[in-house]
Amino acid sequence: MSGIVVVGSLNVDLTVEVGRLPAPGETVIGTGSSTGLGGKGANQAAAAAAFGGTVAMVGRVGDDDGGHDLIGDLRERGVDAEGVTVTEDARTGSATIAVDGGGENLIIVDPGANSAVTVDDVRVDRVREADAVLVQLEIPIEAVSAAAAHTRGLFLLNPAPARELPAELLERVDVLVPNQAELALLAGAEPPDTLEATKELVTGLPGEGRVVVTLGAEGALVYEPGDDGGFTHVKAPEVEPVDTTGAGDCFCGALTVELTRGASLVDATRLAVAAAALSTTAAGARGRLPARDEAERA
């Protein structure tokens, strides 16, 4: 087995700063804007590499400046990008992000070349031989399912953006990492507003895998089924958030690295929560990707 493989999306981000997020049908005036590199998959790969993991990326970009920039950036961060295919006649995926004064965000994604990721892209040796495979849902569900079936190591799924998933896919997941809204959709329920309600939704999910529900500023809720298992609430360190974009991706990357190092799920979550909190103190999805020693000190 060898390292971590992230299967997922690569996007070019346009971020607009606003005083507050718009309501449906409302126009608000921005106070500034910037472009950057993102995509849940690429963000998670970059975060895992920053945390000290040996990481390879599988995905697709368009044959354009944004696509080549994304590949170059991953390589500069120490990520093996040989599994990223440049797709002719396709545009690179993009995301438009509004961020308010408190760091909360609203995101719209145009998948572009991410929609072209195929089953054959993920049925490769690097996926089969990985210690852990980390996947999200900004690529076709057929590719996600194929990655789960092909993985021999640990299979982690971040079910974002939220969508309904077949039970047979969820049953293949070793560690599921949703936020509360994603958890609610998977459970066919309203988003939970308490920890107890969150626990009820977790125990109703298909499969017997472990679950880590991210709770934003409240940290994360860890569930380990079994006679000796149960729930553990891991609290987050207090920080002054600037931009929460990519915090969940930072969490997933750090969590995966720690699990491949042999950490328990609770201990891995503690460091991942700290890393995610620190990541919110800078603008952009990859504005700050903490190293492991930074998370240990948080």
User: What are the catalytic residues?
Assistant: 249
Lookup: tokens for 58: 């599988």
With both helix axes pointing from N to C terminus, report the angle between 180-187 and 195-203 in degrees, rounded to the nearest 10: 40
User: What is the residue type of 113?
Assistant: A
CA distance 10 to 37: 8
Q: Could you tell me how far CA 31 lies from the centroid of its own chain?
A: 28
Dump the DSSP string for 161-200: S-----HHHHTT-SEE--BHHHHHHHHTSPPPSSHHHHHH
CA distance 124 to 62: 21
Tell me how crowded residue 209 is: count the other CB atoms within 10 A of its CB. 19
Reference 102, options 34, 38, 19, 24; nearest CA is: 19
Torsion, Cα of 154, 286, 216, 32 (10° steps): -150
User: What is the residue type of 291?
Assistant: A
Contact 143, 117 (CB under 8 A): yes
